[in-house]
Structure 1
């Protein structure tokens, strides 16, 4: 790349990475999200791109796994020298010393990116995420909860948030010093580079209103240096900086030549068991989607079950809109039946998610190879990673914002069958109730 990239980000899970890409796209910044560390040849295919991302899975890993995954990404970003390098996390700060440790990432990053401090911004008021005096709050069904009282995050099975003070939660993960820039600092201090002087190793920035996001962006852009500024946070960082760049005319005008096409068939593959997904599946059925539950006893077949694949292909021809799903929400009896079946086949409980994801990926590839499908939706963060891997997809670019954080994308693959595929990746918690029908109808108005 012979121009300087504005921002390079690494997303610690797949669907969170598309969220960051979409935020940049929304403000007119052409962004490519790579699903693995790109080669120089891959980067050269996208000359003029202003932002790049790499999607990963660090949120689910221990520190040694995180180091192995992040090292080649940080080496790439160090070589590219963007203005900003962003470690993109979930806006609910999912992390612990053992799993997805944000503190460990900060310490690791000191080897690659120097600076007076590492800014940390998690609040995104537009998405119902707020930080006030270092304490974090999140919207849930129209009500705002402090993170340690949030109905979902305080009960998270892997990384329960029992502390709303982001600094206190983070201090359990690192020996680095942590400071705060509060809403009062923002009210009483001009947004100048001096804000970052005499600061701690990590500085947590409040965000209650849009003006606080703007203040953060003003400080960051005014403080830019020859060396990349490393920062940690949610897609709030993309929203804040992209709005600043658009207002200042930093976005390069580019014609989006790829548009969502009018399609007649669509497959949804859902590995998510969240309650949000349950409601989306119910609404899809109301909208005319044919619902086909994964037969759990076929998951352990030594070979891909060709008769079942042919059954799905016939349904696509007949029904046009088909959902292949593992379970309808967390109370579906199929969850326990699947677990028992896999246990009987000698698969350990901690390996079940990976096993299911890989199997769904294999099945999806066979369905795609034997059909002319041009649009695919994957529901579930882990499922998304395994399916895209099976299809040889190395990059994504936003086609249309079908729902916040879950856009319809153009896929780049060296396999001609999957190059140009239209695909939407959705985490269990994202997308409105009508998400699947909205993705199906994308592109129809323009054609």
Structure 2
């Protein structure tokens, strides 16, 4: 069984989608509490919220997740991080991978953020987003994890205690045996982590053939997806969301989410902007939003959003981000209590708060509505969710998901 430790909720759904796409029965655990349904899984993904925690805390939570995965029968572990290598100078990608390697007794780990499906490639150890080096993209000014160096080797070495090396593209493209030979040399030289170049799915397939049976591998959803394609699919049918109204709750301020909001609004669909005034509480904001929802036609999907471009963000509402996240969780819980079965959540932090408010601990992964954005089914609450990273999906995603609920 493949066990995955992911450093945030939407990243966990991204990797779960890759595993499900390969035909594996995949369970998504949003925390380390996993019930007995997990024994029938081909793969288990544990989604944590460790990306921006202090390194020591991220390591402790990751090791706790590792223990649960091993108890559940996982014999191969994947440390999953974002395909834009979101991290600080101190971690947490390097420290977590090293700690898991020590716990497993592993002396070499292949790692790569390459995910060609999402336009992420690695060449000469440098990470590209499309045709642009990482440090020249919007990630340069990320408020929590600004990425101002495109060299994965330098970024990883700065946060790691053990040596880091690279696996060049020309070796990867020679095939699995050439990769294995290069890794034997790296192991002899004392390197613990090896950053692999990859620019196509064929490159990931070669890496998967070489390291797919290893006890520990690390990277984005790209490499583990290639490893999953080498597994025997269980053939288990994916859960399908029922017809009905879709509630879309958006908190991400990424460019793509803002485009999806604009497209939904311009389509004439109902939309409610959550805008706090000084002194507002999450309970008050959620009450206004849900009252608005109740006034909409019973067959109309609707959008409730706090997302806004940087130019429109206010400075007079303290801790606005946390306020809006809590509001989103309250809205989702109240709509679920009203019988809403279909929820699309946009944004990693927003998704984390929503699943906390819903009490979702384990969900079965279904089909994708966009690459990296699958439906997941919380069987206990009987609600189907899409937990979407802010940058995922095309401009039509909100409109398309809303229409599918009505058409179904």
TM normalised by structure 1 equals 0.84
Structure 2 CA distance for partners of 1:286 and 1:79, relative to 1, 3 Å: same
Which of 432, 439, 447 aligns to 2:394? It is: 432
> 1:108 maps to which residue?
99
- The answer to whether the aligner puts 1:9 opposite 2:4 as a matched pair is yes
List runs of 5+ in structure 1 lacking aligned partners: 343-348, 414-418
- The answer to whether the aligner puts 1:167 opposite 2:167 as a matched pair is no
2-structure distance, mates of 1:163, 1:307: 43
- The answer to whether the aligner puts 1:23 opposite 2:18 as a matched pair is yes
TM normalised by structure 2 equals 0.91
CA contact (8 A) 2:38 2:72 kept: no
List runs of 5+ in structure 2 lacking aligned partners: none
> 1:317 maps to which residue?
297
Shift of 1:89: 0.6
Which of 32, 40, 43 aligns to 1:37? It is: 32
Trace 1:184-223 onto structure 2 (pairs within 5 A). 184-188=170-174, 190-191=176-177, 193-199=180-186, 200-221=191-212, 223=213
* 1:92 match: secondary structure: coil
> 1:345 maps to which residue?
none
Structure 2 CA distance for partners of 1:406 and 1:331, relative to 1, 3 Å: farther
> 2:164 maps to which residue?
178
Shift of 1:305: 6.2
Shift of 1:148: 2.4
Structure 2 CA distance for partners of 1:81 and 1:410, relative to 1, 3 Å: closer
- The answer to whether the aligner puts 1:155 opposite 2:141 as a matched pair is yes
> 2:382 maps to which residue?
420
- The answer to whether the aligner puts 1:296 opposite 2:272 as a matched pair is no
> 2:125 maps to which residue?
134
Per mean C-alpha deviation after superposition, the further-off stretch among 195-204 and 277-286 is: 195-204
Shift of 1:259: 1.7
Structure 2 CA distance for partners of 1:379 and 1:307, relative to 1, 3 Å: closer
Shift of 1:204: 1.1
Shift of 1:292: 0.9
> 1:65 maps to which residue?
57
**Large movers: runs of 4+ above 6 Å:** none
CA contact (8 A) 1:9 1:86 kept: yes
Aligned residues: 403
Which of 260, 269, 278 aligns to 1:280? It is: 260
CA contact (8 A) 1:378 1:426 kept: yes
Shift of 1:302: 8.0
2-structure distance, mates of 1:314, 1:127: 37
Shift of 1:272: 1.4
Structure 2 CA distance for partners of 1:179 and 1:322, relative to 1, 3 Å: same
> 2:247 maps to which residue?
267
> 1:416 maps to which residue?
none
* 1:341 match: secondary structure: coil
CA contact (8 A) 2:260 2:396 kept: yes
CA contact (8 A) 1:408 1:423 kept: yes
Structure 2 CA distance for partners of 1:428 and 1:126, relative to 1, 3 Å: closer
> 2:84 maps to which residue?
92
CA contact (8 A) 1:133 1:206 kept: yes
Higher relative contact order (CA 8 A, sep 6+): 2
The one-character-per-residue Cα deviations of 1:228-268 (angstroms, maximum 9, x if unpaired) are x12220001222112222xxxx2222233x322221x2211
> 1:366 maps to which residue?
334
Shift of 1:211: 2.1
* 1:111 match: secondary structure: helix
The one-character-per-residue Cα deviations of 1:268-293 (angstroms, maximum 9, x if unpaired) are 11111222211111111133321111
* 2:295 match: secondary structure: helix
Structure 2 CA distance for partners of 1:389 and 1:316, relative to 1, 3 Å: farther
CA contact (8 A) 1:379 1:426 kept: yes
* 2:327 match: secondary structure: helix
